[in-house]
Amino acid sequence: MKILGIIPARGGSKGVPRKNIKLLGGKPLIAYTAEVALKSEFINTLILSSEDEEIIAIAESLGIEVPFKRPADLALDASPTLPVILHALEFYKKQNMYFDAVCLLQTTSPFRTVAFLDKAIQTFIEKDTDSLFSVQEVPHEYNPHWVFEEKEDKTLQIATGENDIITRRQDLPKAFHRDGSIYITKTSVLLEQQSLFGNSISYIESPKKWYVNIDTLKDWEKAEELVNNK
């Protein structure tokens, strides 16, 4: 399977300004993802997608290919991820290069390992699902079977739509949330369904001990603690 690895890193971060190249433990945040992805057994081509010249220069110094500059209209606060991926695939299509799947690696989850990344890709290949993403288990008190949502009349209903609540914690099915570290999707699903997920999704659970998804300064402080405690 031929896999394109994409590290998206725009310059306009608001929660943590310039976070993609902000120094964490003495090196740019983007370096953590680059170092792991470049050693992956399964990623055939690894690229950066960015509109920012400084980020591009640092990425290139780390050994990441930067075959194009991301269009400004795909680097806005509200820009979704899917068009960024499609832009990269279209670029390679014009070069007569094609990939079976895309592995998206966000810099905001810096502490994944090579072994974890390769295990995720291997699981994706073996399961032959439309997509795979990394997850964290939802604590039982936030399980969707125990969560209520507001109706139009300002009363509550169980978020799953059930009439009766599951009373015992032991009877709750496991629930997971995406943790932002790894997304892998078949190219055919991206192009034909315009979806990151498709109809079948496999998963890999990230170890809690090094999980962080940097979006705010508080998240950055947690990342610094993890680096200092390594």
98-116 confidence digits (pLDDT tens): 999 999 999 999 999 999 9
Q: What integer is the mean pLDDT of 190-205? A: 97
Q: Beta partners for 114?
A: none
Give the phi and the psi of residue 158 in degrees, each rounded to 5.
Answer: -65, 135
Instruction: Look at residues 107, 145, 92 and name the one whose alpha carbon lies nearest to residue 9.
Output: 107
Instruction: Look at residues 38, 120, 222 and name the one whose alpha carbon lies nearest to residue 7.
Output: 38
The conformation of residue 126, written as its DSSP 8-state character, comes to H
Q: In whole angstroms, how far apart are CA 159 and each of 86, 170, 215?
A: 33, 19, 26
Options 3.20.20.80, 3.40.50.300, 3.90.550.10, 3.90.245.10; CATH for 3-135+177-229 is 3.90.550.10
Domain boundaries, the chain: 3-135+177-229, 139-173
3 state SS of 28: strand
In this predicted structure, which of 14-28, 30-44, 102-116 has the lowest mean pLDDT? 14-28
pTM above 0.85, yes or no: yes
